[in-house]
Structure 1
Amino acid sequence: MLPAPTTPVTERLGAGARWWALAVLTLPVLLIAIDNTVLSFALPAISEALAPSGQQLLWIVDIYSLVLAGLLVPMGSLGDRLGRRRLLLIGATGFAIVSALAALSPDAATLIVARALMGFFGAMLMPATLSLIRNIFTDPVQRRTAIAIWAAAFSGGAALGPIVGGFLLEHFAWGSVFLMAVPVMLPLLLLGPVLIPESKDPEPGPVDLVSVLLVLATMTPLVYAIKVLTDSGLALVPVLCALISVVAGVAFVRRQLARSHPMLDVTLFTRPVFTGAVLANLLSVFSLVGFLYFVSQHLQLVSGRSPMQAGLVLVPGLVVTIIAGLLVVRLVRYVSPATVITGGLLLNALAFTLVAVTGTWGSDLLLLIAFALLGAGVGAAETLSNDLILSAVPARKAGAASAISETAYETGAVLGTAVLGSLLNAAYSRHVQLPVELSDAQRASASETLGGATAVAGELPSTLAQPLLASARAAFDSGVLLTSGIGAVLMVIAAVIAHRTLRQAT
């Protein structure tokens, strides 16, 4: 059997150099995670500046994660062929350039295209980071610690997004949330070639363009179907899209099973620990992104806080997320990973239940507490689920396992916004009551999103603006209650699945 491709990497790195390499590798992870959620805080400003429709607003958020999720596995395979460090540096360069262009978008359609390109280059970044960590840290204890830091950058970055967004939007235009990619990527581009050793598969399989198309044909119609079904109800087009997704997914699996060098080793999913860890990963991110989608808008558009003030409300949750991710490395010495991950998912359920039962109108302190509970749950579940995904497979399959782990993360981000965000928008549209004096254009904007209603209210006299804002905020909170209840139920189901599938993990 061929030696694992990790050997040259570990021989060339001393103990200290490995941790410096990890520090550089966390930069793209941190940026990608921040980018997943920073946009939530920029949505009100983007709504006012570009006047997107409700569907455009969701696509601005979703298209990035959608493209990223669809291309992670193909890019992971490409990295095996070309070299993971090489692809990492190409992705970092492209991501920084396109992020700068996104900041200059004159309309919603242009921003959607720019976000799609960011997803394309982001997909080059993600598979390389985790697989390189798996190759650099061969000692199990060091690997778990390294993955804890990596996961803390992921979950902490997702929580840091609103805070960074709040600061930037307090002092700069909405485009600043994209421009921040440039200074973050510069250290990676300068230090990466020095600190990160190259790593590649010595005998990679051929590029499989058919499998690439099948992955995209599975992911894109699926998310589109979810978005349309939750927003407009049962219709022919989304049903057909869902069927296309299922057919493409089945064809992809069959093709991988039939090939001697599959793009993705789907037999990994026959291992209960691996499958359970992937689901825990996906659903943890689902809960985090779905929660941030509504809490960021509530703090600004309902509570009336500035972007910076809203971000500061979430600081405790950020701190708890990072601490929880690091503490579980010690905790699993005494408690099984299955128990810790199950407990983390139940904390997520408790956070959603707290909002669903008491309502968001009580106080912002309630949202702070709920987000701290969610942060603890996500921090614990994300760290251990990623470690279990990698440790459940041989070292030679680290690339495939990394791609699956990150695909689960990005799919969770897509579905968190698509499912909970679409349900929230649909509930808002059904319950908002608009003044009869509004023009057709104003009615269209105010009926789709709370940000649109807030922008329209700014154009009206106070006698019309106040009733519109009161109705819009009440309609928004009614949607929050619905999505929080759904989120709580999903997290309980996830906890049950994790408990049953991860019991063999050590």
Structure 2
Amino acid sequence: MTEQRPPDTTGLRAWLGLAVILGPVLLVSMDGSILFLAMPRISQDLSPSADQALWILDSYGFAVGALLVAFGSIGDRYGRLRLLMAGATVFGLGSAGAAFAPNPELLIACRTLMGVAGATLLPSALAVLSELFPDARRRAQAIGIFAAAFAAGFAIGPIVGGALLGPYWWGSVFLVNLPVIAAFLLLAPVLLREVRSSGTGRVDAASVVTSVGGLLLTIYGVKHLAAEGMSPLPFATLLLGGATLTYFVLRQQRLAHPLIDFSLFRDRLFTLAIITGLLPLAAWSATAFLSGIYLQSVLDLSVLHAALLALPGATVLTLACLLTPALVDRIGKRAALVVCHFSIAGGLLLLLPTAVSGGIVWYVASTTVAAVGYGISFSVVADTAVAAVPPERAGSAGAIAETGNEIGNALGIALLGSLAALLFRLEGPGLAPTLDQTLRLPSLVPAAAQDAKAAFVMALHVVVVVASVLHVALGAVALRRLPVHRGVLKEAAEPAGRGGRA
């Protein structure tokens, strides 16, 4: 039975509890982007091989994406606050180890450990938050703030990294986590309370293993196929991952207490919301990755200058996350999802006027307009996931939403990034497989450099068009297939009548 609470106990303690939760959430999302700026310094000090450098970057995201669903369900069953405390402790230990790692192998191990801990924090934090705010309106506002913090972490990661890497060594990008973790461990037991469900059954070990293994194998296969082209090992890994995930899905349908309740996807709004969590992250990660190369390698801007140009978009993104609950309350989730996808598509298309000779204004305009849709996506997806299930399943629902985000982030760079790489190889001067490698060639003549930059800009434009078309299509689906009158308060209140559902 799930512990019963009064209809609305929202007060100062709840808002302070939210503030405490936001610290680890900000760190988890920030760590996904902060390391890109530190890699040149890490390469100088630790001399990792090309494969080790890839694992330094990817091991964190692999672990987070593969374990989110499993830890969301484990927290539901064994205690969300307990899992939060354990995850924060491990995240701090992993950060300290990474900061002082003397070799690439230990750094990869510490980054993986941080990813495991990060996977415990996100779904449990969202579930604890839903218990702090039982009132639907207050919960929607709190989840908007939660989403804003998560989004802000992605946006400010490069800015924080650029500021730290000037006066300090590369390990400082990890040590910045420790004060936040220490504050959380001191304040969380005071402001938060343990919440668990005794009616959701035992954790099915086979489901945990197959969900983790299937996601890890699939993400690994996709990433390496994108990087290396069609080769036997990544292709076999992808097939094995797909087969493992298929077995996982079929097994869930036979269990009385599944790790993921796939019946949730019978609701069109829930399904579209989860897709809305995946596709915008794919578009965002791919265009952010390619735009970073455009600003630094095509326009020759410094790393910090390029990071500062993202500030207007980051500001709009944060405001959009905060204001989305009020917007949804006024126009409904259907209209909000339509606005989300069309604003992202419009913002992405503003990158089309960029050129080799300039495009800073278009880049800022693009990120600012698209940020409206990204902010709606973060907030609506999280709120829909929590509101669609009874309280004892909030962690699992939150994990589905966050897993969609992480998979979208991985697939965006893997698929859209590989499309850009293919187009560059076809249209570029043919001297090296990437723009950066081409520009570093010692005997490169100016005309070849100009051709390489032009080929990269063309590839960026094609990726932008593809991502925009996908968002227009999803916006059209939302416009045609979703019911009109489904406000946030009505949907958030529905689980109260289904509290007995496992």
TM-score grouping bracket, smaller chain normalisation: 0.7 to 0.9
Q: Determine the structure 1 residue equivalent to 2:135.
A: 139
Alignment gaps of 5+ in structure 1: 436-446
Q: Determine the structure 1 residue equivalent to 2:118.
A: 122
Q: Determine the structure 2 residue equivalent to 1:7.
A: 5
Q: Is the 8 A contact 2:68 2:119 kept in 1?
A: yes
* TM-superposition CA deviations, 1:303-352 (whole Å, max 9, x none): 33222222211110111001111222222233121111221122212222
1:17–1:380 Cα change, 3 Å: same
Distance 1:123 1:487 in 2: 27
Q: Is the 8 A contact 1:170 1:308 kept in 2?
A: no
**1:360-399 alignment to 2 at 5 Å?**
361-399=357-395
**1:267-282 alignment to 2 at 5 Å?**
267-282=263-278
Q: Is the 8 A contact 1:168 1:176 kept in 2?
A: yes
TM-score (norm 1): 0.87
1:496 equivalent in alignment to 2:492: no
Distance 2:156 2:363 in 1: 16
Q: Is the 8 A contact 1:54 1:425 kept in 2?
A: no
Distance 2:460 2:416 in 1: 9
Note the C-alpha offset of 1:74: 1.3
Alignment gaps of 5+ in structure 2: 488-502
Greater CA drift, 175-184 or 269-278: 175-184
Q: Determine the structure 1 residue equivalent to 2:397.
A: 401
Q: Is the 8 A contact 2:10 2:133 kept in 1?
A: no
Q: Is the 8 A contact 1:100 1:178 kept in 2?
A: yes
1:308 equivalent in alignment to 2:304: yes
Distance 2:63 2:40 in 1: 24
Distance 2:225 2:233 in 1: 9
Q: Is the 8 A contact 1:70 1:215 kept in 2?
A: yes
Which of 203, 208, 211 is equivalent to 2:207?
211
Kindly provide the amino acid, as one letter, of the partner of residue 212 in structure 1: V
**1:186-197 alignment to 2 at 5 Å?**
186-197=182-193
1:172 equivalent in alignment to 2:168: yes
Q: Determine the structure 2 residue equivalent to 1:330.
A: 326
Distance 1:318 1:306 in 2: 19
Distance 1:110 1:225 in 2: 24
Note the C-alpha offset of 1:397: 2.2
Q: Determine the structure 2 residue equivalent to 1:441.
A: none
1:189–1:400 Cα change, 3 Å: same
**1:35-114 alignment to 2 at 5 Å?**
35-46=31-42, 57-105=53-101, 110-114=106-110
Q: Determine the structure 2 residue equivalent to 1:318.
A: 314
Distance 2:43 2:359 in 1: 25
Which of 458, 461, 472 is equivalent to 1:481?
461
1:404–1:34 Cα change, 3 Å: same
1:319–1:39 Cα change, 3 Å: same
SS of aligned partner of 2:253: helix
Distance 1:102 1:423 in 2: 33
Distance 1:224 1:280 in 2: 23
Percent sequence identity over matched residues? 35
1:350–1:140 Cα change, 3 Å: same
Greater CA drift, 262-271 or 417-426: 417-426
Q: Determine the structure 2 residue equivalent to 1:222.
A: 218
Q: Determine the structure 1 residue equivalent to 2:492.
A: none
Note the C-alpha offset of 1:118: 1.5
Which of 323, 348, 352 is equivalent to 2:344?
348
Greater CA drift, 248-257 or 44-53: 44-53
SS of aligned partner of 2:196: coil
Q: Determine the structure 2 residue equivalent to 1:444.
A: none
**1:445-456 alignment to 2 at 5 Å?**
447=432, 449-451=434-436, 456=440
SS of aligned partner of 2:33: helix
Note the C-alpha offset of 1:245: 2.5
Greater CA drift, 262-271 or 233-242: 233-242
1:40–1:390 Cα change, 3 Å: same
Q: Determine the structure 2 residue equivalent to 1:443.
A: none
TM-score (norm 2): 0.88
